[in-house]
Structures are given as structure tokens and as C-alpha cells.
A and B are shown apart, each in its own frame.
Chain A
């Protein structure tokens, strides 16, 4: 008989079901830190928040091909002294498994300077779309620290596509072109 036994035929270990931990949430940056990370030389961020009109909404959806779900645009002008350095736009995307708060830095010429993720939260299955699930994060927007679960920070095999975020960035760019002056 052959003594050879492939290593994947006999389990080295059986793990019980209960060692699995729940999904996780991380806060990477608060609002101020994200502004600093994207515009390191800026010394002033002036709020330029706008509410989109139905026409602007349609224009953004046509230009980006992405649905606009929220009318409020959280935007700031980054300035170094009197010099305008660009736009800082705070946005949120909701995927099947994830809820992500992120910021886009847009140069005065309308190009993307950078994208930083502020909060990343993952739910069980479709939990992110569930308003009750989302409610637990209310009041924990950028600026106030979200409890970071230190136990789950090195997650291998997390190849979650960032397609939703890519679409979000496209929508933010169109929003800047349409609504931020």
C-alpha cells in the first residue's frame, strides 16, 4: 500500500461552529482627520453644503449613470489662506453587505485627487439595507468615534468588491460638476 496520503484528505483540526465571530465595523478616520489626509496643506474648510433640486438630481443621474438617493450634499471648500485647493465631499454608499462612509477630494479642475474611507461597516447578509440595523449607527457619523472592534482587524479573504464605492465616486464627481460652484 502507498503510505502517501495527500494533506487535504484528513482534517488537521475540526473547529466547532461557535468560534465564528460576527461581522465587523471599523472607523478609519473622523471628518477632521480625513480632511487633513486629503488636503494636507489646507488650513480652512468652509462648508459648501447644498440640497439638490429635482433637475440637478436628474442631471447627476444622467451624467453618472448612478441613482441619487440623498438630496443633501455634504461638501466643503478646502482653502490654504485665500487659495482654493479643491472640494472635499463626504458621502455614503450602501451595498449588499456593507455600509461605507467615504470622502472624495476633487481638484479645482474637477479631477479626483484622492478617496479616503472614514467608516466601514459590515452586516449579516442583507442587514445593511435594513433600517433597524442602520439605526444603531445613528449619531455615530464622522466626527464621533465608533467603537472599533480590536479583535477583528486582520481579515483575510475579504475580497469584497468596491464596485459600489466606485459608482459612488462617479456620482460625487457628477454632483460637483452639477451643483458645486
Chain B
């Protein structure tokens, strides 16, 4: 007898955002699998929250300068990956920008953390044998640019181990899917974040999007974002969104920061992680969007080594082509599915 398949979807506030987990599997087993996946995300949250003074990360930030601090294997995995990414990107990815984020008001100050040095960076976070961490200078680390992706990967592993046929974990824009059918990934329009664009189809793999539309705040009379360039330590402005596709969500999450900091340098690093970047920029003149795809530029000598549409990770750009063909344009009566055009377009 065939088992009945059911699909469930749930959401909880974790990792400072909304984490959504969906799975389908044998009837009766899905809710329990989703609960286990949430527990895995909650564990990562408890270990790596910068905000929580009781987290393992806060313990490292408080005592890392005094001597080696032994850490949980999850934290170790993330620190190791962060180190590798920092090396690969020559510091474009750097977990020691926390003091800058605190100064701009994105991270809370912690009275019990040692004062941060201005001359420390990722090179001063030493990873020692026995899963121990020590600071060589007075740095402060923040894993929010990579831990969310790690939590997503972990939750996906839990769903797979529980026998789910397909699943999806979305932690505020860092998402990963698995299964046999393609799922359409949408991104927010960078200039109007309450509108969304269908960007691509994903069957098995991760997509992380970095954009500042909901994260801007005023600091010293100007709008700043939490996207900090590690070399200049200055905050970038919010004008485009960057989506990175990769087999692992942890890499996709971290690589969005590398692309944000330096798109030209990023091409080599993306290839190393079998990743691909798509930048969406609003064009105020046409009202449309310019899409830059690291795998689709002719003349770029590096594009050959990047996954092409539909080949690796089953990522395809079919949506792009559909979006461009006249037959896909919305008809009257489909209005509840597709938003009304912007006013100036109706006028024009």
C-alpha cells in the first residue's frame, strides 16, 4: 500500500528573523521532522547569537583574548569555514567587523567585552587544536554573516535524515531546498521591497540574498546599512540586491558579502565554491531591473568555469526567459496574481 504523502509548513522567530521550514513526507511524520529541524536552528541560535550575553559566541568575545576557549563542534565548523572564506577572499569576508556594526548601532554594545583594537582582523582569530579559539589581538567576532546559512544547512540535514522527500528551509532570505521538483525562488525588488520578482528555479541547492532595504538606519545624518566593507570598514548604501547560489547555504550566505564588497574579485572565489552570483538592480529610467549573472557574461574569461543554467545544482534561469517572452505578460483578469503596474507605467 502506498503511504500517503503530506506537506507541512511552519515558521518561528529565530536567528533574529523568521525561519520558515517546509517538508513533505509520509503522513504523520512531517510535523515531528519540522520540529527537529527547528530545534537544530535553535541550537545554532543559542550558540552563535551576538546579542545573547549567554551564547558561546559571547563567551569567546569576552574571554578569547585571555586564552584558548573550547567551543562546540557547530561553532567550530562555522569558524573554520569563516577562516577559509577570509583566506580565499583576502579578507573580503571578515567576521571581525563587529565593532563597526556596534558603532553604527546594528549590534548591541556589551559592557563586559574587552575594548576592541583598531588593528585587528580575521587573521587574529586563531583556531587551535582541540576545537579551541583564541584571539591574538583584541578583536570581536560576529557570525551573523555565515551562521544563518549554517543553520539552514543543518536543518536540511535533519529533514533528510528524518526521511523527508523534499524540503525547504528559509531563514530570512538564506534558503536551501531539496527534493525532485524545482521550486521558484523570488527576490524582493531592491527599490520596493514589498514587491517580489521571480528570479530562478532551484531543485537542490541554496540561495542567499543580501540587500539592505529593511536594515538601513540613520547614523550621523546619513542612512547606513549593516553591509560593511572589511578593508575600508565603511557601510555601503542600499541600491541593489545580491543573490548567491551554491550547493551549501553557509557558503551562499557568506559569499553575498564578498560580492557586495568587490564583485570583480568575487568571480574567482565564487568558482571555488561552485557558486554563482546574480545582482538585481532597479533601473529608475525604465522601471525595470538590470540583472547581472556571474555565469552569463560573455567576454569574462572566468565564466566558463561557473555552472551554466540547468547544469549544476539544477539551477536554471528559465524564469528569466519566461519573464521576457510576450506570452508571459499578465493578462487582464490575472490581476490578483500579478501586481498592478506602477502608476507611471499605466500613465505612459
Contact = CB atoms under 8 A, between A and B. Distances in A.
B277 to A, nearest CB: 8
B210 interface: yes
Interface in A107-146: 114-117, 120, 122-125, 127
Interface in B1-24: 9-13, 16-18, 20, 22
Interface in B72-106: none
Nearest to A125: B194
A155 interface: yes
A82 interface: no
Contacts of B301: 3-4
B187 A15 contact: no
B12 A3 contact: no
A19 B243 contact: no
A37 B10 contact: yes
A21 B197 contact: yes
Interface stretch (A5-13, A46-54, A72-80, A173-181): A5-13
Contact of A16 (B11, B184, B299, B324): B324
A88 to B, nearest CB: 15
A20 B337 CA distance: 10
B214 A17 contact: no
Contacts of A123: 194
Interface residues of B, number: 81
B283 interface: yes
A76 B330 CA distance: 46
B297 interface: yes
Contacts of A29: 10
A4 B207 CA distance: 27
B263 interface: yes
Interface stretch (B53-61, B129-137, B157-165, B284-292): B284-292
Given A15-B288, A160-B17, A7 B197 contact: no
Interface string B327-341: 011100000011101
B294 interface: yes
Contacts of B12: 114-117
Nearest to A164: B13
B110 interface: no
A122 B194 contact: yes
A158 B197 contact: no
Interface in A51-108: 97, 102
Interface in A21-54: 21-24, 26, 28-29, 36-37
B188 interface: yes
Interface string A141-162: 0000000010111111111111
B18 to A, nearest CB: 6
Contacts, number: 220
Interface string B252-292: 00000000000110010000000001011101001111111
A112 to B, nearest CB: 11
B16 A162 contact: yes
Given A154-B170, A154-B183, A21 B195 contact: yes
B185 A160 contact: no
Contacts of A16: 286-288, 323-324, 329
A7 B16 contact: no
A12 B297 contact: yes
Nearest to A23: B194
Contact of A6 (B263, B293, B328, B342): B263
A156 to B, nearest CB: 4
B315 to A, nearest CB: 13
Nearest to B265: A6
Nearest to A20: B195
Given A13-B324, A154-B170, A166-B13, 19 more contacts: A5-B297, A6-B264, A7-B300, A11-B291, A11-B292, A13-B320, A17-B342, A28-B9, A29-B10, A151-B184, A152-B196, A154-B185, A156-B199, A156-B207, A157-B187, A157-B188, A158-B170, A159-B214, A160-B172
- Nearest first, the 8 A-B pairs at minimum CB distance are A157-B209, A17-B287, A12-B296, A22-B339, A12-B293, A11-B290, A7-B297, A156-B209
Interface of B: 9-13, 16-18, 20, 22, 31, 35, 168, 170, 172-175, 177, 183-189, 192-199, 202, 207-211, 214-215, 241, 243, 263-264, 267, 277, 279-281, 283, 286-294, 296-297, 299-303, 317, 320, 323-324, 328-330, 337-339, 341-342, 345
7 contacts: A3-B299, A15-B291, A15-B320, A21-B198, A149-B337, A154-B170, A156-B185
